[in-house]
Amino acid sequence: MENKINKYGRASTIKIKINNNCINKCSFCVFHQSNDRLSLNNIKRFLGLIDNLKYYRIVINGGEPTIHPDYLQIIEFLKYYKEKKKVRLELGTNMIQIGRASCRERV
């Protein structure tokens, strides 16, 4: 998880890398070498700790975030922040899994 705080004490973007795994196995990338991932509870805890920061964007990425076992629950939870904090949600993905109906319905 990463946040960049500007000189006014605001974090413009919160980046949450939810896993380190990818299905592409590209030779130039290291994301297929690890199964590390954040749990939904850890993401909730992190966002609770930074609740007082002013930010306008949350970026979800990883290796490939759509293969995280709790991906859909994470997206559902972050929709709350989209409404509460009026932030923009972004997803960094290779789009391979987005073709699945369950992903398309939730994004």
**Among candidate residues 64, 2, 68, the one with its CA nearest the CA of residue 38:** 68
Contact (Cβ atoms closer than 8 angstroms) between residue 70 and residue 39: yes
Give the predicted TM-score (pTM) of the model.
Answer: 0.74
pLDDT of residue 80: 84
pLDDT of residue 45: 93
Q: Which two tokens stand for residue 56?
A: 């306008």
- Cα distances (Å, whole numbers) of residue 39 to 1, 4, 7, 102: 12, 22, 31, 20
- pLDDT, one tens digit per residue, over 7-66 is 666 668 888 999 888 877 777 776 556 678 899 999 999 888 887 777 778 899 888 888
Helix (H, G, I), strand (E, B) or coil at 12: strand
Q: Specify which residues 89 forms β-bridges with.
A: 58
